[in-house]
């Protein structure tokens, strides 16, 4: 590196600080605080080690407080130039996060979490490409390029193999880029890890074309990787309108719905506790799988006998009727499903194909909660058996299954997280090789324990204090990260931390949607090792 470049990268020197609070860095006179962004990476040349850290605060200081009361005449550009950096100066707070042994980038063993701080007056400079690479690793067979750090061209990569081993979360308020980001995560999982995805696609954004706010269409996973992705649809009419042909049309029989499913729908159907209780009573009364169908019939006829027998309060019965009747709007619910959706999904997944379940016109939270819960519960049970069997037979374990849900707080709020299948998967972690990827605008609505189990969190801008607290609970350097988080841009920027990477990072998320971006995403390199076989491929052709 030339001296000039080094001078340009140099920011200042360490003047004080601590490991927990971060070190204070006096900014060189030639550097303007206005050019510094919170979240940027810096390298500190300690006496023995090179430290890698993140800027978490920027402040203005004066050598003598009197200078602030009687400021020098900075309307004179000459005087302004002289006093900035001397009489008055900028100060940065840097949180040292990793040490890269050897004072030169790229030398010595791999990065280690920082356990001390650099010595007084150590030089601080903007992190170089080599620094970032030595901390985050290069794009390779298991690392997926997710974006770039602020003001740098270097690639930040996530270890997809590590990522899929645990449940993960993508959070951020509406319009911050969660869906765009998730599309790329899903592609990364397909390319770089031996995992297969099941995506509950409420807004029809993952399979076929999704729209961008800029009004042009962006490609879905099926279009980019037709051989590795199958689209299942709940709504043929929607498919017809959009002129797409899905791989499978999902029908769910009333006989597949269990009282637990209704319980999960309590808030969305506005059911009372008593109504839920009544549902269990009714299921017991009708004994078989036809309980729901019969209950719906009972609403239409004289039901006084039944109501009396089960001692259901009249108000409860009305509440139940109003609630359950909403289900009849869903045309994908039939008396009995012609084909076994769960079995078909598992076949596809077993052959290495990811499945996008598209809700079509039913982009309704009740439909979403019902279908996602119902299918996942049964898929999980079968998957678990399969894993147990393969363990017993000592045969090859199935690949990892990753289930993606949006509006995650509907499934994982504290009231129901202990009962839902999603809560269970999140808590059991990787035991059964199933993990979830949750996407949500309101993380504060998600059960705390579930949040703490998420391996990697990807957080776009959040402006609600409660949501910010929820995502950062239990994270080291919480206050610093909070400052960073609040300064994210409103789109396409995220703070990422957790198992899949060595330290928290603010990333400008990779562009998705241009022809070039598709080309850069490339083919399914990793996926080629487990070529899809047999039936599903044939089905598609």
Partner 1 sequence: MDLGKQFAEVIETSNSEFLAQCYELDGVPALGSLVKTRSRDCEIYALVYASGTHSIEPGRRIVARGQGATSPADVFKANPQLAKLLCSDFRALVVGHDRGGVMRQYLPPSPAGIYAFVYSCKPEEVRIFTGSLDFLSLLIDSRLPVATDEVIAAFLRLASLTHQAPQEFLIKAGQGLAWLLSNDIRRLDSILKRLRI
Ligand X SMILES: Nc1ncnc2c1ncn2[C@@H]1O[C@H](COP(=O)(O)OP(=O)(O)OP(=O)(O)O)[C@@H](O)[C@H]1O
Q: What is the smallest separation between the CB atom of 76 and partner 1, expressed in angstroms?
A: 7
HSE on the CB side for 60, CA within 13 Å?
9
Q: Does 511 bind ligand X (CB under 6 A)?
A: yes
Positive or negative CA dihedral for 354, 358, 364, 369?
negative
Pick between residue 465 and residue 511 the one whose CB is nearest to ligand X. Answer: 511
User: 174 or 541, CB closer to ligand X?
Assistant: 174
Least distance in angstroms from the C-beta of 406 to ligand X:
7
What is the smallest separation between the CB atom of 181 and Mg ion, expressed in angstroms? 9
Ordered strands of the 456-459 beta sheet: 156-159, 143-149, 505-509, 493-498, 456-459, 168-171, 434-440, 400-405, 195-201, 354-358, 229-233, 248-249
- Residue 70 binds which of ligand X, Mg ion, partner 1, none (CB < 5-8 A, kind-dependent): partner 1
Taking the C-alpha atoms of residue 475 and residue 497, their distance in angstroms, rounded to an integer, is 9
Closest CA to 232 of 364, 382, 343: 343
State how far the Cα of 116 lies from the Cα of 151, in Å rounded to an integer: 27
177 binds ligand X (CB under 6 A): yes
513 makes contact, choosing from ligand X, partner 1, Mg ion, none, with CB < 5 to 8 Å by partner type, with: ligand X
A 10 A CB-CB count for 102 gives 14
The overall longest dimension of the chain from CA atoms, in Å, is 94
Residue 82 within binding range of partner 1, rule CB under 8 A: yes
Report the nearest approach of Mg ion to the CB of residue 108 (Å).
Answer: 43
Q: How many CB atoms lie within 10 A of CB 514?
A: 11
Number of Cβ within 10 Å of residue 290's Cβ equals 15
Q: According to the binding rule CB under 6 A, does residue 441 interact with ligand X?
A: yes
Of 70, 109, 153, 394, the residue at the interface with partner 1 (CB under 8 A) is 70
User: Burial level of 82, CB count in 10 A (0-12/13-18/19+)?
Assistant: middle
Q: Counting contacts by CB under 6 A, is residue 154 touching ligand X?
A: no
- What does the buried/exposed string (b/e) look like for 492-506 if buried means 16 or more CB atoms within 10 Å of the residue's CB? bbbbbbbbbbbbbbb
CB of 510 to ligand X, least distance (A): 6
Q: 398: which residues sit within 8 A by CB, 6+ positions away? A: 350, 383, 386, 387, 390, 433
81 contributes a contact to partner 1 by CB under 8 A: yes
Exactly one of 73, 302, 393, 538 binds partner 1 (CB under 8 A); that residue is 73
Please choose which of Mg ion, ligand X, partner 1, none residue 176 contacts, taking the beta carbon within 5 to 8 angstroms, the exact cut-off set by kind: ligand X
180 makes contact with ligand X (CB under 6 A): yes
130 binds partner 1 (CB under 8 A): no
215 lies in the binding site for ligand X (CB under 6 A): no
Position among 9, 21, 85, 290 found at the interface with partner 1 (CB under 8 A)? 85
Interacting positions 132-191 with Mg ion (CB under 5 A): 179
CB of residue 525 vs ligand X: minimum separation in angstroms?
A: 21
CB of 77 to partner 1, least distance (A): 10
Nearby residues of 515 by Cβ (< 8 Å), 6 or more positions away: none
Q: Which one of Mg ion, ligand X, partner 1, none is in contact with 492 (Cβ closer than 5 to 8 A by kind)?
A: ligand X
Which three-class secondary structure state does DSSP give residue 514?
Answer: coil
Q: Is 15 in the site for partner 1 (CB under 8 A)?
A: no
CB of 123 or CB of 441, closer to ligand X: 441
Q: CB–CB of 370/267 below 8 Å? A: no
Verify binding: residue 493, ligand X, rule CB under 6 A: no
Is 72 a binding residue for partner 1 by CB under 8 A? The answer is yes
- Per CB under 8 A, the list member of 48, 66, 284, 389 interacting with partner 1 is 66
Q: Which residue among 75, 174, 287, 541 contacts ligand X (CB under 6 A)?
A: 174
> For ligand X, which is the closer residue by CB, 213 or 394?
213
The reply on whether position 175 binds ligand X by CB under 6 A is yes
Which among 45, 20, 32 has a CA at the least distance from the CA of 91? 32
Structure tokens at 165: 């081993």
Per CB under 8 A, the segment of 10-18, 63-71, 254-262, 276-284 that binds partner 1 is: 63-71
Query: How far is residue 207's CA from residue 476's CA, in Å, rounded to a whole number?
Result: 37
Please select the residue that binds ligand X; options are 3, 65, 153, 214, rule is CB under 6 A: 214
The window from 72-80, 150-158, 178-186, 370-378 that contacts ligand X (CB under 6 A) reads: 178-186
Q: In this complex, which beta carbon is closest to partner 1, that of residue 83 or of residue 401? A: 83
Q: Which does 441 bind (CB under 5 to 8 A by kind): partner 1, Mg ion, ligand X, none?
A: ligand X
Tokens matching residue 443: 């993380």
d(C-alpha 239, C-alpha 266), whole Å? 30
Q: Check binding of 193 to ligand X (CB under 6 A).
A: no
What's the Cα-to-Cα distance from 505 to each of 1, 26, 148, 149, 445, rounded to whole Å? 25, 23, 10, 7, 24
Q: How far is the CB of 54 from ligand X (least distance, A)?
A: 22
CA distances from residue 358 to 168, 196, 345, 373, 516 in whole angstroms, order as listed: 21, 17, 13, 15, 26
The residue nearest Mg ion at its CB is 179
Contacting residues toward ligand X, per CB under 6 A = 172, 174-180, 212-214, 441, 491-492, 509-513
Contacting residues toward partner 1, per CB under 8 A = 29, 63-64, 66-67, 70-73, 76, 78-79, 81-83, 85-87
């Amino acid at each position: 590196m030339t001296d000039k470049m080094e001078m340009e990268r140099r920011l200042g020197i360490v003047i004080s600080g601590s490991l927990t609070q971060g070190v204070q860095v006096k900014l060189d006179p030639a550097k303007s605080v206005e050019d510094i962004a919170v979240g940027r990476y810096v390298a500190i040349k300690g006496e023995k080690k090179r430290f890698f850290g993140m800027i978490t605060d920027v402040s203005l200081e004066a050598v003598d407080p009197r200078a602030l009361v009687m400021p020098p005449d900075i309307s004179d550009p000459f005087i302004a130039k002289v006093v900035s950096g001397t009489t008055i100066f900028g100060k940065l707070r840097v949180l040292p996060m990793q040490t890269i042994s050897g004072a030169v980038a790229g030398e010595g063993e791999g990065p280690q979490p920082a356990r001390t701080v650099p010595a007084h007056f150590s030089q601080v400079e903007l992190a170089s490409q080599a620094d970032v690479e030595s901390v985050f690793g290069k794009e390779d067979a298991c690392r997926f390029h997710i974006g770039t750090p602020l003001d740098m061209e270097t690639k930040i990569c996530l270890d997809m193999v590590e990522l899929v081993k645990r449940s993960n979360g993508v959070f951020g308020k509406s319009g911050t880029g969660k869906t765009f980001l998730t599309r790329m995560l899903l592609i990364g999982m397909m390319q770089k890890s031996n995992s297969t995805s099941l995506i509950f696609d409420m807004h029809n954004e993952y399979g076929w074309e999704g729209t961008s706010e800029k009004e042009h269409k962006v490609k879905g996973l099926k279009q980019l990787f037709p051989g590795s992705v199958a689209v299942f649809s709940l709504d043929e009419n929607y498919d017809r309108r959009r002129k797409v042909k899905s791989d499978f049309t999902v029908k769910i029989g009333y006989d597949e719905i269990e009282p637990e499913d209704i319980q999960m729908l309590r808030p969305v159907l506005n059911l009372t506790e008593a109504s839920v209780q009544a549902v269990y009573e009714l299921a017991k009364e009708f004994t078989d799988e036809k309980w729901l169908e019969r209950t719906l019939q009972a609403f239409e006829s004289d039901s006084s006998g039944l109501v009396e027998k089960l001692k259901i309060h009249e108000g409860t019965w009305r509440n139940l009727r109003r609630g359950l009747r909403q289900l009849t709007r869903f045309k994908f619910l039939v008396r009995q499903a012609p084909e076994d959706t769960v079995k078909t999904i598992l076949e596809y997944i077993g052959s290495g194909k990811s499945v996008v379940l598209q809700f079509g016109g039913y982009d309704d939270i009740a439909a979403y909660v019902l279908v996602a819960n119902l299918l996942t519960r049964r898929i999980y049970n079968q998957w678990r058996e399969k894993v147990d069997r393969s363990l017993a037979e000592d045969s090859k374990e199935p690949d990892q299954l990753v289930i993606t849900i949006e509006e995650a707080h509907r499934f994982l709020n504290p009231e129901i997280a202990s009962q839902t299948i999603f809560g269970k998967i999140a808590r059991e972690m990787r035991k059964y090789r199933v993990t979830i990827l949750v996407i949500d605008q309101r993380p504060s609505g998600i059960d705390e324990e579930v949040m703490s189990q998420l391996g990697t969190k990807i957080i776009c801008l959040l402006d609600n204090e409660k949501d910010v607290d929820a995502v950062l609970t239990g994270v080291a350097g919480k206050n610093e990260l909070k400052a960073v988080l609040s300064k994210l841009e409103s789109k396409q920027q995220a703070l990422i931390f957790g198992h899949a990477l060595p330290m928290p990072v603010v990333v400008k998320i990779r562009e998705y949607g241009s022809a070039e971006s598709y080309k850069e995403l490339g083919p399914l390199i990793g996926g080629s090792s487990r070529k899809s076989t047999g039936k599903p491929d044939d089905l598609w052709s």
